[in-house]
Amino acid sequence: MGDAAALLVRAAAPERGHLWRGIAFLMLAAGLEALGPLAGKALIDTYLVPRNADLPAMFGLLAGALVAGNVASWLRYLQLVRLAGLAMRSVQRVREEVYAHVLRLPMRFFDHAITGQLVSRVTNDTEAVKALYVQVLFVMLDSLIVLAGAMVAMLWLDWRLMLIVATLAPAVGLIVYVYQRLSAPAVARTRELRSDLNAQMAESIAGMPVLQASNAAERFEQRFAALNEAHFASRQVELRANAWLLRPVLDLLNVLLLAAVIWAFGARGNGAALGAVEVGILYAFMSYMARVVEPLIQITMQFSQLQQAMVGAARVHALLKETETPVAGETGRVRQGEIEIEDLTFAYQPGHDVLHGLALRIPAGSFHGIVGHTGSGKTTLLSLLLRFYPAPPGSICIDNVPLEAIGEDHFRASVGLVPQDPFLLAASARENIAMGRPLTDAQVEAAARAAQAHDFIVRLERGYGTPLGEGGARLSVGQKQLLAIARALAGEPRILLLDEATAHIDSETEQVVQRALADLRGKVTIVAIAHRLSTVRDADRIVVLNHGRIAELGTHSELMAIEAGLYQRLYLLQQLEGEDAADAV
Ligand SMILES: Nc1ncnc2c1ncn2[C@@H]1O[C@H](COP(=O)(O)OP(=O)(O)OP(=O)(O)O)[C@@H](O)[C@H]1O
C-alpha cells in the first residue's frame, strides 16, 4: 500500500495542478448529479401528487434539473480529459524513469537479474500506475462522492431509513476484508508467474541455437506449459474470489435492504395509504439507494483491479529503490592514459578474494596483454578498470587520478571496450559504429579504417548504410569483432580494453585485428585479455595472472625464457593444439 502510494505521488508530482483540477471537476459533477432525485421529489410532492399544476414553476424545476445535468456532463468530460491524460502521461513518465534507472544500475545487479522479469517490470508493471489512477481516482473516488452525496440526501429525507441503508457499510467492509485475504496471495503469484513466462520466452530466444541443437524444444515446451498452467490456476483462484464475493453478495444485500426499507415504510404508515409527501420521499429514497449500492458494488469490484495494480506498483517501486551506480561527481580527467594499479584486492562476495594485492604500471600508449588460466581473474581486472564494479578507492589510478574521481561522461569517452561478444544493434553499420554519438561520416569511416573494417563495410550492398540485421546476423564473427573495434575507436579513447576479442575468429582475421592494434601502438593505451596467446605475442608486456595474482610479467621472449614458467607452458600447449588442428585439416 505504501509502495503504491509512493509511486502514485511520484508519478503525479510534475502535474499536481491537473490532478487537483481533475478531482475538483469530479467532485462538482458528482455533487450536481446528487441533486437529481431531490428535484424529482420536489416535482412529485409539490406538483404531481397534489395535482397542483403550476406549469411555470414545474418548467423552471425541469429546466434547472436539465441545466444541472448538462453542467455535470461537461464537468465529467473535463475531469476525464484531465485525469485520463494524467494517468497516461504518468505511465509514460514512470516507464521512462524505470528504464533510465535500469540503465544506470550497477553490474552487480545484473549478476542476478533475469532479463524477462526485468522486461516485464518495465513494460507491464508500470501499467499499474494507470490502473491505480483509473481505479483509485476515477472509480473509487467517484463512487465515494456519489455515495456520500446520496447518504447526506437520505439523512435529510429520513434519518431512520438512512440508518437501515447505512448497515451496508460494515457489510461491505467485511466483504472487502475477506476478499483481500483470499485473493491477495493469488494476485501476487499471478504477477510473478507472468514475468516468469516472459523470462522463459526471452531466455529461449537468446539461447535458440543451443536449444535446437540439444533437441530441447520438447522439454522447454513442457516447462512453459507447466508455468502457464500454474498461471491459469492462480488466475482461477482470483476469479473465484471475484465471482463469489464482489457482485453477487452485494446484489443480494441490495435486495434485502430494499425489502427492509419498504417494510419499514409500510410499518410506519400502519397500512394506511401513503400521503403525498411520502410518495416523493419513497421515490427519492429508492433513487438514492441505487446510488448507494451501485458505487459500493463498483468499489468492491475495483478491489480486484486495485490489488493487481498495487502488486505491480510495489514491484516497480522495489526496482526504483535499487541503488544506481554512484555517478562520480568529480572532474578528474584522463590525459595520456597511463594506468597505475596498486595493492588491488577485490572480492565479489566478502571473504572470497578474486584478486590479491595486484600491482602494475601500464605506461600511456603501451600495449599490454593479460593471459592466464580460466578463472584467474582476467575479466574481473578488466571490469574494475571499466568501473563496472567498484575497486577499493585509490587502488587504480589513470594519469595519477584515482579512477573514482574521473567524471562519468569523460571516463566513458576516454576508455573504449571491445567485448568478447560484440553486441551489434539491428541497425546500419554506420549506426553501429556511432552508437548514438554525434559523429560525422568522416569520423565513422576513420574509425572503421583504423579497425581494418572499412574494406568489408564498403563491399556490403549499401556500404555504411547497410542494415546488419538483429545482432549483426549478416556479418561473420570476425567482421562483427572488427566493427566492435571500430566502435570503440570512434570515440577516440585514450585507453582501449579488449576482452578476448580474438577468441572466436580465425587466424586470418586475428592477423587483421593484430594489424589494427599494431597501428594504434603509441597512440592509445591497449590492454588486451587473450586466450589465444598469438594475439598478444607482440605486446610490450604480457601479464600472466594465476589465481588472482601476477605470476609472471615481461615480453614474450622474456616469459618464454622462464624455464617451466606458466606462460611458456601455456604457449607450448597452444602450439601443440595448433599443430593438431593443422594435422586434422
Ligand atoms: N559476477 C561475479 N560474481 C561472483 N563471482 C564472480 C563473478 N564473476 C567472476 N566471478 C569469479 O571470479 C573468479 C575470476 O573470474 P574471471 O571471470 O575474472 O576469470 P577469467 O580469468 O576472466 O576467466 P575466463 O578466462 O574463463 O573468462 C572466478 O572464480 C569466478 O567464479
Q: State the closest ligand 1 atom to the C-alpha of 108, by its place in the atom list counted from 1.
A: 1
pLDDT reading at 229 higher than 90: yes
Residue-averaged pLDDT of the chain: 82
ipTM of this complex? 0.95
Query: By alpha-carbon position, which residue is closest to atom 26 of ligand 1?
Result: 374
Question: Given 263, 287, 321, which residue is the final one in a domain?
Answer: 321
Q: Which of 295, 292, 290, 288 lies closest to 156, judged by CA?
A: 288
**Is there a single domain that holds both residue 105 and residue 143?**
yes
The grid cell for 18 is 491537473
Instruction: Note the pLDDT tens digit of each residue in 505-517.
Output: 777 777 877 878 8
Using the mean position of ligand 1's atoms as its centre, give its distance from the Cα of residue 71 in Å. Answer: 69
Using the mean position of ligand 1's atoms as its centre, give its distance from the Cα of residue 381 in Å. Answer: 10
Distances (CA, A) of 467 to 424, 473, 479: 11, 10, 14
**Is there a single domain that holds both residue 296 and residue 367?**
no
Say how far apart CA 285 and CA 291 lie, in whole Å.
10
Using the mean position of ligand 1's atoms as its centre, give its distance from the Cα of residue 371 in Å. Answer: 14
Residue partners of 515: CB distance under 8 A and separation at least 6: 452
Task: Answer whether 383 contacts ligand 1 (Cβ < 6 A).
Answer: no
Residue partners of 377: CB distance under 8 A and separation at least 6: 354, 355, 545, 547, 548
**Is there a single domain that holds both residue 311 and residue 408?**
no
With beta carbons less than 8 A apart as the criterion, state whether 483 and 475 touch: yes
Using the mean position of ligand 1's atoms as its centre, give its distance from the Cα of residue 309 in Å. Answer: 40
Using the mean position of ligand 1's atoms as its centre, give its distance from the Cα of residue 542 in Å. Answer: 20
Task: Answer whether 348 contacts ligand 1 (Cβ < 6 A).
Answer: yes
Q: State the closest ligand 1 atom to the C-alpha of 348, by its place in the atom list counted from 1.
A: 4
Say how far apart CA 537 and CA 551 lie, in whole Å.
17
330: in domain:
no
* Size of the chain, expressed as the number of residues it contains: 585
334: in domain:
no
Domain count, the chain: 2
Q: State the closest ligand 1 atom to the C-alpha of 382, by its place in the atom list counted from 1.
A: 18
Provide the 3-class DSSP secondary structure of residue 358. Answer: strand
Q: Which residues pair with 406 in a beta bridge?
A: 332
Task: Answer whether 377 contacts ligand 1 (Cβ < 6 A).
Answer: yes
Using the mean position of ligand 1's atoms as its centre, give its distance from the Cα of residue 374 in Å. Answer: 8
Domain that holds residue 504: 339-584
Task: Answer whether 532 contacts ligand 1 (Cβ < 6 A).
Answer: no
Which tops the pLDDT comparison, 581 or 370? 370
User: Which residue, chain included where needed, has cell 467492509?
Assistant: 173
**Is there a single domain that holds both residue 123 and residue 42?**
yes
pLDDT reading at 277 higher than 50: no
With beta carbons less than 8 A apart as the criterion, state whether 363 and 439 touch: no
- Min mean pLDDT across 180-184, 411-415, 433-437, 484-488 is at 180-184
432: in domain:
yes
**Is there a single domain that holds both residue 103 and residue 194?**
yes
Instruction: Note the pLDDT tens digit of each residue in 373-389.
Output: 888 999 999 999 999 88
- For residue 7, the tally of other CB atoms under 10 A from its CB is 26
Using the mean position of ligand 1's atoms as its centre, give its distance from the Cα of residue 190 in Å. Answer: 35
- Percent of the chain residues past pLDDT 70, beyond the cut: 93
- CATH code, domain carrying 208: 1.20.1560.10
Question: Given 321, 351, 373, which residue is the final one in a domain?
Answer: 321
**Is there a single domain that holds both residue 357 and residue 315?**
no
DSSP secondary structure letter of residue 546:
E
Instruction: Note the pLDDT tens digit of each residue in 308-356.
Output: 788 788 888 888 888 877 666 667 788 888 999 999 999 998 889 999 9
Task: Answer whether 580 contacts ligand 1 (Cβ < 6 A).
Answer: no
Residue partners of 467: CB distance under 8 A and separation at least 6: 426, 427, 428, 474
With beta carbons less than 8 A apart as the criterion, state whether 106 and 325 touch: yes
**Is there a single domain that holds both residue 102 and residue 248?**
yes
- Out of 109, 355, 379, mutate this one to test ligand 1's pocket (max ligand atoms within 8 Å of CB): namely 379
Using the mean position of ligand 1's atoms as its centre, give its distance from the Cα of residue 363 in Å. Answer: 26
Task: Answer whether 368 contacts ligand 1 (Cβ < 6 A).
Answer: no
Query: By alpha-carbon position, which residue is closest to atom 7 of ligand 1?
Result: 348
The grid cell for 491 is 570515440
Say how far apart CA 278 and CA 157 lie, in whole Å.
10
**Is there a single domain that holds both residue 295 and residue 380?**
no
The grid cell for 19 is 490532478
Task: Answer whether 354 contacts ligand 1 (Cβ < 6 A).
Answer: yes
Say how far apart CA 54 and CA 548 lie, in whole Å.
100
pLDDT reading at 543 higher than 90: yes
Report long-range pairs for 547-556 (Cβ below 8 Å, ≥24 apart): 547/356, 547/376, 547/377, 548/353, 548/354, 548/355, 548/356, 548/358, 548/376, 548/377, 548/380, 549/355, 549/356, 549/357, 549/358, 550/358, 550/359, 550/360, 551/372, 553/360
Using the mean position of ligand 1's atoms as its centre, give its distance from the Cα of residue 544 in Å. Answer: 16
**Is there a single domain that holds both residue 311 and residue 350?**
no
Provide the 3-class DSSP secondary structure of residue 292. Answer: helix
**Is there a single domain that holds both residue 225 and residue 308?**
yes
**Is there a single domain that holds both residue 466 and residue 516?**
yes
327: in domain:
no
pLDDT band at 231, cuts 50/70/90? very high
**Is there a single domain that holds both residue 48 and residue 95?**
yes
pLDDT band at 226, cuts 50/70/90? very high
- CATH code, domain carrying 395: 3.40.50.300
332: in domain:
no
